[in-house]
Structures are given as structure tokens and as C-alpha cells.
Structure 1
Amino acid sequence: MSHESGIDVYLGLDVGKGDHHATALNRAGKRVFDKPLPNSEPKLRELFDKLQAKHGTVLVVVDQPASIGALPLAVARDTGCQVAYLPGLTMRRIADLYPGEAKTDARDAFIIADAARAMPHTRRTIDLANETVAELAMIAGFDDDLAGESTRIANRLRGLITQIHPSLERVLGPRIQHPAVLKLLDQFGSPARIRKAGRRRLATLIRPKAPRMAEQLVEDIFTALDEQTVVVPGTDAAALIVPSLASSLQSVLDQRKLLATRIEELLEAHPLSQVLISMPGIGIRTAARILIDVGDGSGFATAGHLAAYAGLAPVTRSSGSSIRGEHPSRRGNKQLKRAFYLAAFASLSQPESRAYYDRKRREGKHHIAALIALARRRIDVLFAMLRDGTFYPAAHTGYGLTKAIEAPFRAPDACWWARTTVESTDTSHSMSPAASACACAAWSIRSNVPSAAHRRKRVWRLAHDPYRSGTSRQATPVRNFHTIPFRTVRSSSRGRPSAGCGSNGCTSSHSASDSSWRRITRP
């Protein structure tokens, strides 16, 4: 494969702040260069030109394409070298295949070069990013840092207020990032100072930032202040810290607003921005993250490859007959996975996404699993949009999001015992409930398949028992197993079925070879 690519030298760089370590291998795996390399453009350019003049085409491979690895890649492109990168986790796992346990720059550089030569499928291509995407990546990274900083400051601020006055925190805590609350805490950082300021002064201070809730917020604050009369030790010290934290949090939030404006300007200049934003649930920051990590989608062969890269494709784990099934992936691009997950959550107000989410919930998946399944399905749509350059309404047809999904039958609360679905080998019956609990006609449903042809351990789906009050749970059916051929019989003159058909409305089974009634037990 190396000969087919036309590469003559594989140069592995273990990048560093001041110096890199460079190891160059030819096609046969022989070292042609193995020395430390200063992180400066003249030295990098000199090495790249020398290797190209002496050996031919050079592939420069790094383990970090950004940050300290950005300059070597830029110089390599400028000198005509090909570039690629080997993910750090992949490199560490490949290192276990080589003899020795040492961790040195020279060994890492050799492993990077040899893995790129002998295992070309492990290396990743690096597309030349335009100025817009490069600026987006830098601003989005700084915005992520500010988001984490704002969360840290807000938690610290709420913790201090909880320590000195829990009732006041219950009022201000949920609105801790509101400009009116931050201005209040910046001016009056302790419960005593807030009480001393008075209602009128607080309302005058808050009203420009929160004209609708100013009066109610002031009343809630003074109601909370009246609930505590003792002064907790440390209140005076907190009065010095709270204004500083409030000012810092407001500054961080203002910076995020400026960055959001700049991100929006950069997105408008990109041709794919309108395609991404046309999909429900994708906003400015989510579109920026997708554009940075996915681009136009040409780097992925199929939507499945994109889902695997984002860590949203399920992983199959099986071992003989004891362990099998699919599990969520623990790998992938965490930031991209978070963007797809949040976009799927935001799209639940859209009918197609809500229908798909509800279907997964009825299948027994919990909330997070259903959202991950929705995010995975939306990747199929997004990949088609990027591939064809189409907007969402024209791209989502045919991917299952708009398919009509009918909810399984649910009986009224009064007929909770009648909700039963029986699945056999050849037939599937749904039993309709009676009109009410007071008039339930006797009825019987038999399977069309002879009892001798029934398989053992047939799956039953039964609704949950009701609450003690008698109201229905209206929940996802549970799965039960029965081990004998059966016919389902229920009879009742009124109210719940009689004891002969199983107490409390339980379904009973009867075998042609066994005349006794047996109640189904649930695991």
C-alpha cells in the first residue's frame, strides 16, 4: 500500500513546545533520519527540503495536529510534503506491540513513522482548512473554555450563598446568571446589606435589567430573608467574595456574547452554514462545532463512519452464547457527540423527531438511550444534506423520521387488565378492552397456530400492574416468557375477570395436553 501511495519517506514527529523529535523511515523501514528538531521554521524547512531532494516524496506524520503541531504541518504543506496525523490513543495502543516499556521521544517518533508506513489505515488525513474554519476552531475552543469557567463560577457563587443563607439561594440560585441578579449581588453581597437597601432601592436597581419580574423578585428576596434570623459564621467573609464572583461571572458571560456574535458572522460567510442551520435543533454554536469537525462530510465514506467518529454508533459485544448485544460506544469525538446530542434534544419540539423519540421510548429505551438513537438517525439526514447540499425539508425524506409511527393500543384506566399483546410464531394478536369496568363481555382469543407447533419460551408483552389506587400506569410493556403451548381465555360477567382466569386480571394459559390452568409469572 505504501508503494501505491507513492510515498518514499515517512517522517514521524513527536511534537513538543521547544523541540520535536523526528524519525524518518524509507519504504523498507530503514532509518534515514533520527534526531531532535527545533520548533522553528528555518530548521523545519531545511529538513523537509533535504529529505525531498534526497529521497523523493515525504509524508509528515504528527500525533497532535493542533497547538504545538500546527507549525510543522504548515511548513510541511508549504514545502510540498504530504501531511497526516496519528491519533494519540491509537499511537499508545500500537506502542504496546513494540518491544520495550520505555517512554521516550525517540521511541514515540519511531512508532509514529513505522505505524504510518506499515499500517496506513491508522493514520488520518488532514485537510487544508480555510481561514474561516481555522478562525471558527480557535473561537469555538475559547468559547468552550469560557462556558466551563462560567459554570465553575456560578457553582462557587451558589455554594457560598447556600452556606450563609439557604433560603436566599433558593430564590437567587436558579437565576444566578441573570444580569439583574448578578448586578444585585455585585452591589449588595450579603443578606444584611440586601435587607438594609430596602425594597424600593432594590426594585430601582433591578428594573432596568428585569422589568417584568423586578417587583416579584424583590418580594421573594425579602420573604426569604425573613425566614432566617441567625447569622452563620463566615457571612462577613462571604460578603467580600460574593461581589467579586458576581462581577467575574458577568464578565465571562459578556465575553461569550461577543464570541457568539463573531461566530455568527463567520458562519454567515461559509457556504454550508445555511444547510446546517436549516436542520431543527442546530444553532449557531452547534453548527460551528459540526463545521469544524465534519466540514462538508467528504472525509467520511458513509453516515455510519461519521456516527462512529462521533461515538454515536452502537458497539456489538459478543462472546459465545453468554454475552451478546449492542452497547453505547465509549470512544469518538466527545465535543462532536455532545453537539449532536444537544441538537437531538432541542429538536424534540419537531413532530418527526418527537415521533421517532416516542417510538424508542415505547420500545423500552430510557430517555438518554432514546436521545442517542435519535441523534444517530439525524446523522443519516445530516450526512445526506452535506453530501447533496440540500436543506432539511428536502433531505430528510426517506430516512424514517417522517414515517408515521402509530402508538401501541392503550386501554382506558378502567380496563387496565385488558391491555395484552400476544406474540406467537406465526400470528400476533392485540386484545381490545371492554368499554368499561362495569360491563365487560366474556371473550376468548385463540392462536391460529396449533399448540404442537408453538415454540417454548415464547415472548409475551404485558402491561404493568396498576397503582394501588387503581389508576393505570400507561407505561412501556414488560417482556415475559411462557414455556408451554397456550390459548388465552378471559371471561367475566362484570368488573375484573373471575378467579378462574387468574386473580387480579392475570392472563392464564391452557395446553391441549394439560388441562390445568397456570398463571404466568413475571421475572
Structure 2
Amino acid sequence: MTSTDTRAWEGNILIYCGIDWAEKTHDVALVDDNGELRAKRHITDDAAGYKLLVELLAEYGDTEDNPIPVAIETSRGLLIAVLRTGKRQVFAINPLAAARYRDRHSVSRKKSDPGDALVLANILRTDMHAHRPLPQDSDLGRSIAVLARAQQDSLWNRQQLANQLRSLLREYYPAALEAFATWANALCRPEVRELLKAAPTPSRAARLTRTQLQAALRRAGRKRGIEAEADRVRDVFRAEWAHQPPLVEEALGKQMLALLLQLDAACTAANQLAEAVEEAFPQHPDAEILLSFPGLGIQLAARILAEIGDDSTRFADARGLKAYAGSSPITRASGKKSSVTRRWVKNDRLNHAGYLWAFSSLRTSTGANAHYRRRREHGDWHAAAQRNLFNRMIGQLYHCLQRRELFDEQAAFPAPSQAEAEAA
């Protein structure tokens, strides 16, 4: 056993742990390096169960310096928090991969929770080198990950509700869509929500006075151009529009108000989480490096950090990070046929953030814009060119994080030589 090996021994025998995770109870299995089942337990998902698990591991040689590695099919929750203390390696095994391993032990396709725990323990016994343990991210990094992902989810939820509201307004209230069309991200703006609360139907909207419209805009926090906007909206509301029958229109107005309450809550949640991210992210040691890259603001940089973590040993090289992000192409070959395509198995959140990063960098970095243009001239479509740009920039990010350097535009996108320029 090398000095960096953290696996626990009982006597001269290595011990591996597998846990079949469930909502209220968990099944635990311990096997040795010969594949023999050494112990099994059924524990509850509470403090008493966690204590029983820790005592069981200690009984079979688990120590602070040489903890027993654990395989489990989840990467979050209180049980994971208990297991990740100290130097322990915790392996989050994909349930699909675990199902394939199960077929190696039983051809009858039977399934049981104790049997799954044994399968997970044997995965570590035979193929631990082929699986990646959970990264040893700092508590600050993990807290930023929670906030950044929650803020991203709240934005997706907000947009989904805004789309539902827009579809509903099209059915009976086209005047509202016309009045708010000139405002960016209109249905999520506080002015729009206040106006819809004041006039949930087109009939009520047509009766709004200039004073009432101005008051609604002020309640939403608008400071400038209130009189002009109120007059413009009033003219649109009082124009001639098709109407639903009065009873149907009132019913649709009540439905719209109910949906508006959900959208209002989603907008508030998104704003509060964004403020939490802005407060927490600058405290991280990697924040300065991430923010030095063109196209990355606090929110987007926090999403990048949330997915790649701050464990410097997580990725062996930049190629591993690029594959994880789904930005590098993958070659599929069989016989005489081969194809180079984009990756389907990837971190979807990181890939989504990378698309936004590459797009925003086009306006803030001349080198990134020139790289994108060259890819388009060579025949790449827009998405392929942006993916190639993201692939290059995330490789540069890996380099800067490893060397603790800020982004350098000249080093990242050096000017082409005279020979290259003439060849182009």
C-alpha cells in the first residue's frame, strides 16, 4: 500500500463498503479483497443510523488516517455529509452502471436492497480505479455550488412560468402583450406584474386612468419616463381589440392572477438567490481568476465554479475537464467506420453555462470573436463554433486555475504570424 492509499485494512485484508441508499433506511455491506461478505447492516436515515454505520466501519478497521472507501448511488444528502468527513473516499456510482454490475452476479435479474449493497461494495473491490471519488471541495465552494444551482433553477422556473403566462394572455388579453412588447424580458418585470394586478382583464385595462397607470408604475419602482409610458400603455389598452365573452374573460382573469402570484414568487426567489451568490462568490480564492475571463460575471462564474469545484486534483488534465463539460468532440469508431461528433454524456449545467460564456465573450474579447469567426469561415455552424470556443476557453481556465494566474488576452489568443495571415 502506497503512502497516498487511504483504504482501511482489517489485519492484512482490505475492506470495502457498499451502501444501498433509500429514503428512510439504508442497507450496508462490507466485503474484503477476496470478495467475502464480512458484515451487513440495515440502518435508519437518522442520527442513530449514522452512528451505527460509523461504529460498524470502525469495527472493521476504519480510522481517520485509513478510512474504508464507500460506494453509494447518490452524491448528496446528510448521509453523504457524514461519510465525507476526513480523508474518506466516497464513490457516487451511477445507478445504470450499478445495474450492469448486478448482472455479473446474478443472471436471474433479481433485485434486493442487501444484494445491491453487496454489488456496490464489489464494484470498489474489482474496479475502484475505474471510478472517480467525490471531489474534496471546500465548504465555501460547496455552499456556492448550492446557491448557484438554486439560482439557475429559479431562473428556469421563472422563465417557464413566464411562458405559461404569455400563452394564457394570448387567449384573451393580446393588448397586454402589445403594450409590454417594447420592454426587455417583459413579463418578469415588476412594472408588468403591477399593471396586470391592477387590470387582470382587457375590459378593466381599458378603464384605467392615466393616474392609476402612473401609480402602478411607481409602485413597481419605476423612476423615469413614467408619464410617457403611462400614456403609451393607456393608448394600447384603449385601442380596439377582440374580446372573450364577459364571463369567460373574468374567469381567465382569475386564472391569470393565480399564475401571476407564482411568477411573482419566482421572480423574488431568483433575485434573492442572485444577491446571495453576489455576496458569497467574491469570498472564494478562485473568484478573481474566474472573473478575469472575458464574458464571465459573478452569476455565470459562480455557475462554472459550482460544476468544476475547487479541488485542484479532481481533473488530471485539461482534457478531462473538457470531456466533463461536453465541449471536446468524441470519436466513435467501429471497424472501418468512424465519426467525430459532440458529446451527449456530460455535465449539462456546465455545458449550458459554457454556451452562455462563449456567447457573451464575443462582445468582450477581440481574440474570442476572431476565433469564432475563423471557425464559421471554416464551415462550422453557430453552435459548433461556440462549442469550439468554449472548449478552448475552459482549457485556458484549467491552466490559469492550476498556475494561479489571471487571464491574459495576448497569451490566450495570440496574433497570427505573417505567414499564417498570408496563407489565410
Q: TM-score interval w.r.t. the shorter chain? A: 0.7 to 0.9
Q: C-alpha distance in 1, partners of 2:35/2:171?
A: 64
Counterpart of 2:16 (choices 10, 14, 20) is 10
Q: C-alpha distance in 2, partners of 1:276/1:3?
A: 34
> What is the aligned partner in structure 2 of residue 222 from structure 1?
235
Counterpart of 1:273 (choices 273, 284, 287) is 287
Deviation of 1:204 (Å): 4.0
Deviation of 1:168 (Å): 3.3
Q: Does 1:202 align with 2:202?
A: no
Counterpart of 1:211 (choices 203, 224, 240) is 224
Counterpart of 1:145 (choices 148, 153, 158) is 153
Partner SS state of residue 373, structure 1: helix
Q: Does 1:250 align with 2:264?
A: yes
Deviation per CA, 1:193-247: give whole Å up to 9, x if none: 1110133431343255262376246425633652414435721112212233334
Partner SS state of residue 338, structure 2: coil
Q: C-alpha distance in 2, partners of 1:276/1:124?
A: 25
Aligned-partner residue type, residue 22 of structure 2: G
Deviation of 1:288 (Å): 1.7
Change (3 A) 1:230 1:267: closer
> What is the aligned partner in structure 2 of residue 64 from structure 1?
74
Deviation per CA, 1:46-97: give whole Å up to 9, x if none: 34334434445521222212025424424xx36x754333233433343444
Partner SS state of residue 316, structure 1: strand
Contact 1:24–1:32 (8 Å) recurs in 2: yes
> What is the aligned partner in structure 2 of residue 31 from structure 1?
37
Change (3 A) 1:380 1:197: same
Q: C-alpha distance in 2, partners of 1:377/1:156?
A: 37
Q: C-alpha distance in 2, partners of 1:291/1:429?
A: 39
Q: C-alpha distance in 1, partners of 2:133/2:154?
A: 30
Is the deviation greater in 41-50 or in 176-185? Answer: 41-50
Q: C-alpha distance in 2, partners of 1:403/1:107?
A: 60
Aligned-partner residue type, residue 241 of structure 1: Q
Partner SS state of residue 125, structure 1: coil
Larger helix percent: 2
> What is the aligned partner in structure 2 of residue 380 from structure 1?
395
Counterpart of 2:191 (choices 167, 172, 180) is 180
Q: Does 1:240 align with 2:261?
A: no
Deviation per CA, 1:94-153: give whole Å up to 9, x if none: 344443323332232222111111011332222444332232232233323322321222
Contact 1:84–1:124 (8 Å) recurs in 2: yes
Q: Does 1:337 align with 2:351?
A: yes
Q: Does 1:45 align with 2:20?
A: no
Deviation per CA, 1:35-56: give whole Å up to 9, x if none: 3222233433334334434445
Q: Which has the higher contact order (CA 8 A, sep 6+)?
A: 2
Deviation of 1:398 (Å): 4.5
Contact 1:311–1:332 (8 Å) recurs in 2: yes
Partner SS state of residue 188, structure 2: coil
Is there any run of 5+ residues in structure 2 with no aligned partner, and where?
A: 9-13
Aligned-partner residue type, residue 102 of structure 1: K
Is the deviation greater in 361-370 or in 34-43? Answer: 34-43
Change (3 A) 1:362 1:405: farther
> What is the aligned partner in structure 2 of residue 499 from structure 1?
none
Q: Does 1:287 align with 2:287?
A: no
Contact 2:135–2:309 (8 Å) recurs in 1: no
Q: C-alpha distance in 1, partners of 2:234/2:332?
A: 55
Q: Does 1:346 align with 2:354?
A: no
Q: C-alpha distance in 2, partners of 1:314/1:3?
A: 37
Contact 2:201–2:249 (8 Å) recurs in 1: yes
Deviation per CA, 1:372-402: give whole Å up to 9, x if none: 1111111111001111111112xx5545x33
Contact 2:15–2:60 (8 Å) recurs in 1: no
Is there any run of 5+ residues in structure 1 with no aligned partner, and where?
A: 410-427, 431-523
Q: C-alpha distance in 2, partners of 1:177/1:197?
A: 22
Change (3 A) 1:165 1:405: farther
TM-score with structure 1 length normalisation?
Answer: 0.70
Partner SS state of residue 16, structure 1: coil
**Equivalences for 1:75-474 in 2 at 5 Å?**
77=85, 81-100=88-107, 101-172=109-180, 175-206=186-217, 208-209=221-222, 211-212=224-225, 215-216=228-229, 218-219=231-232, 222-223=235-236, 225-232=238-245, 234-296=248-310, 297-321=312-336, 323-349=337-363, 350-393=365-408, 397-399=410-412, 401-404=413-416
Larger radius of gyration, structure 1 or 2?
1
Contact 1:12–1:110 (8 Å) recurs in 2: yes
Q: C-alpha distance in 1, partners of 2:96/2:296?
A: 30
Deviation of 1:332 (Å): 1.3
Deviation of 1:161 (Å): 0.8
Q: C-alpha distance in 2, partners of 1:64/1:405?
A: 51
Q: C-alpha distance in 2, partners of 1:51/1:67?
A: 19
Counterpart of 1:73 (choices 80, 83, 105) is 83
Aligned-partner residue type, residue 120 of structure 2: I
> What is the aligned partner in structure 1 of residue 11 from structure 2?
none
Aligned-partner residue type, residue 95 of structure 2: G
Q: C-alpha distance in 2, partners of 1:404/1:4?
A: 45
Deviation of 1:276 (Å): 0.6
Quick one: percent identity of the two aligned structures? 25
Partner SS state of residue 271, structure 1: coil
Aligned-partner residue type, residue 38 of structure 1: T
Aligned residue pairs, count: 404
Q: C-alpha distance in 2, partners of 1:324/1:82?
A: 37
Change (3 A) 1:213 1:328: farther
For the aligned residue pairs, the C-alpha RMSD in angstroms reads 3.0
Partner SS state of residue 38, structure 2: strand
Q: C-alpha distance in 2, partners of 1:283/1:34?
A: 49
Contact 2:19–2:29 (8 Å) recurs in 1: yes
Is the deviation greater in 221-230 or in 232-241? Answer: 221-230
Partner SS state of residue 22, structure 1: strand
Deviation per CA, 1:422-453: give whole Å up to 9, x if none: xxxxxx999xxxxxxxxxxxxxxxxxxxxxxx
Change (3 A) 1:98 1:147: farther
Aligned-partner residue type, residue 346 of structure 2: G
Contact 1:312–1:372 (8 Å) recurs in 2: yes
Deviation of 1:2 (Å): 10
